Structure 1
């Protein structure tokens, strides 16, 4: 009698998106997102008042209008590209795997995705947070949520987490493939790598023995001590992309976007730096968003539209944005290689 094979579960997790660009849905999304203690890491009461009495009520209508600009016939790009990648990875891995997609905030939830894997009786689960660089507010939050859910299961399978994938060759190769057509058409005089920012205090909290706080050259190299320093990871990502595309160090800049509140966030700030570029003789700029794997508000709208407008007003001549990985076949292959590299020796009887 043949024993059925034990399947392996793959859980892909991205940040999330509102169910629609309508203000109530955007407000609901913002509340869940910003109430995460790893996103706004202040005491609960202060966080609740800030989010529910100030940010969500006043920001939701404005954000809803922006989401309407982003929304396509298929819906939110972050969502439909995620679905595309899930289906493509499932097909590539074959019937020995079950690939589920979950969002840290809103739908489909991580709980729904985990239940799908449990119904398929998987023997182990590999969780891949779709964030190239580790940060407490992203990858850390995903791990936190997954463990919160499975702790109540009677049978908990082996669970492994992919912490980061910024150094994966095919991750860098996909970005290169996206950038090359633009670089072949235009002789850019500067390149900007813009990453989502985080508060400085979160960098210091994650610092190994105070390394990031005490060493002002922390980000100049990437090593065991600053492996989880988000800023150092961003600089390392930029170095790898620049090397792949033959961009010399003096022709690119690393900056950080999307800061919130008055506390200091990691610098330099992208929105301030880009206004200085034309005066420095950088009139044609190609921008990258390597902390995002799918088009979203922060890439298409913020970097692609808003930054471009500010750059042109400052005297720039051309501003282009490299498309996100989205559903590129190389990106799907990258995920497949991550799965194969991280799978255990689960034996099928």
Structure 2
């Protein structure tokens, strides 16, 4: 079989025009794995309320971070794709879960190159309903409908792979070299608490008290976003030799009034500033590419909150983006897959 790879990231509006932002938000928020309520309620919430109020505000936020080349997330993903392609011998495609660079187009481009076995790599270190799962479910649906002779395999969540932890830790070390800080905050994208329960394959073992997150050998951890975020923090902290009390985990970007994973990033930043922390650094390991949530919500809004409550120095650590060692790592996974497949062919 002819092999290829499809890297898949979140997506972006085509431009900062409110019409493009509204179209993008509509697709994103109508995904039943993002807002997981009955269709009638989701339609009322998204089309009746959010899309009538949020696009203009979101468009202004996108304008703050937009590059001359376009959306930072798209540009950085394309740079990463090129670097991985330069390090491998098979076609490397790129798609987005939402927006015009959709998964169907990505699969079609690989199909047109003669590829009939595709490794899908969701560019998310941790598994979540609203990220990894929605990508894989849609890819399988498209495969059955449009590419019946194409075989799909996927790369599981890689949050705990030592080689990933090494690359992430190195990126943090390089950014913080020569910088004094009192606290390092690991901020992950938030999800509703009910998403954790829905992904719980232990039939109710998760009590959302944080205890089972640190229990070793639990099968449910394979699909527990909270556990995977907590373990990413623990492993990086160990790698960096961080002392207890000098780092912590929080969750950002909540939507609506339902309980989301806590503690919330904005409130954590505010609390630390009020408690006398003057120098803090923040890293966002749920994202591999800088985007609206890292460049505007954290680097701009987060810093503003910190300064308002007395904080002095706020250091944001870039995502892995198109780092050479990150491209090397992805290429190694691809090349190992190709080598194994070749040996067993």
Using the size of structure 1 for normalisation, the TM-score is: 0.93
**Cα distance in 2 between the residues matched to 1:347 and 1:166:** 28
**Cα distance in 2 between the residues matched to 1:131 and 1:44:** 26
1:218 to 2:212 alignment: yes
1:37 to 2:37 alignment: no
Structure 1 residues 61, 48: closer, same or farther in 2, change over 3 A?
Answer: same
1:170 to 2:166 alignment: no
Asked whether the equivalents of residues 19 and 106 of structure 1 are also in contact (C-alpha less than 8 Å), the reply is: yes
Asked whether the equivalents of residues 159 and 232 of structure 2 are also in contact (C-alpha less than 8 Å), the reply is: yes
**Cα distance in 2 between the residues matched to 1:342 and 1:39:** 31
* Counterpart selection for 1:250 from 245, 248, 273: 245
TM-aligned CA deviation for residue 123 of structure 1: 3.5
TM-aligned CA deviation for residue 341 of structure 1: 4.1
* Counterpart selection for 1:338 from 317, 322, 333: 333
**Cα distance in 1 between the residues matched to 2:175 and 2:64:** 24
1:9 to 2:12 alignment: no
* Structure 1 residue runs without a partner (length 5+): 1-5
> Which is worse superposed, 182-191 or 141-150?
182-191
Structure 1 residues 314, 92: closer, same or farther in 2, change over 3 A?
Answer: same
**Cα distance in 2 between the residues matched to 1:321 and 1:302:** 11
**Cα distance in 1 between the residues matched to 2:216 and 2:149:** 35
**Number of the residue aligned with 1:313:** 308
Asked whether the equivalents of residues 276 and 310 of structure 2 are also in contact (C-alpha less than 8 Å), the reply is: no
TM-aligned CA deviation for residue 329 of structure 1: 0.4
SS of alignment partner, residue 195 of structure 1? strand
**Cα distance in 1 between the residues matched to 2:288 and 2:124:** 7
Tell me the C-alpha RMSD between the 2 structures.
1.7
TM-aligned CA deviation for residue 342 of structure 1: 4.1
**Cα distance in 1 between the residues matched to 2:25 and 2:227:** 28
**Number of the residue aligned with 1:241:** 236
TM-aligned CA deviation for residue 135 of structure 1: 0.3
Matches within 5 A, 1:99-138: 99-138=92-131
> Which is worse superposed, 287-296 or 160-169?
160-169
TM-aligned CA deviation for residue 259 of structure 1: 0.2
Q: Deviations over 1:273-293 (max 9, x none)?
A: 111113434221110000000
Structure 1 residues 119, 324: closer, same or farther in 2, change over 3 A?
Answer: same
Asked whether the equivalents of residues 174 and 328 of structure 1 are also in contact (C-alpha less than 8 Å), the reply is: no
Q: Deviations over 1:264-310 (max 9, x none)?
A: 00111111111111343422111000000011010011111101110
Structure 1 residues 338, 35: closer, same or farther in 2, change over 3 A?
Answer: same
Asked whether the equivalents of residues 78 and 296 of structure 1 are also in contact (C-alpha less than 8 Å), the reply is: yes
**Number of the residue aligned with 2:318:** 323
TM-aligned CA deviation for residue 182 of structure 1: 3.4
**Cα distance in 1 between the residues matched to 2:121 and 2:161:** 13
**Cα distance in 1 between the residues matched to 2:94 and 2:10:** 11
Asked whether the equivalents of residues 222 and 233 of structure 1 are also in contact (C-alpha less than 8 Å), the reply is: no
Structure 1 residues 136, 222: closer, same or farther in 2, change over 3 A?
Answer: farther
Asked whether the equivalents of residues 222 and 232 of structure 1 are also in contact (C-alpha less than 8 Å), the reply is: no
Matches within 5 A, 1:290-305: 290-305=285-300
Using the size of structure 2 for normalisation, the TM-score is: 0.94
**Number of the residue aligned with 1:284:** 279
**Number of the residue aligned with 1:3:** none
Structure 1 residues 154, 113: closer, same or farther in 2, change over 3 A?
Answer: closer
> What is the count of residue pairs matched by the alignment?
342
**Cα distance in 2 between the residues matched to 1:213 and 1:174:** 32
**Cα distance in 1 between the residues matched to 2:20 and 2:52:** 12
**Number of the residue aligned with 1:271:** 266
Structure 1 residues 121, 186: closer, same or farther in 2, change over 3 A?
Answer: same
> Which is worse superposed, 223-232 or 15-24?
223-232
> Which is worse superposed, 326-335 or 163-172?
163-172
**Cα distance in 1 between the residues matched to 2:249 and 2:208:** 21
Asked whether the equivalents of residues 93 and 109 of structure 2 are also in contact (C-alpha less than 8 Å), the reply is: yes
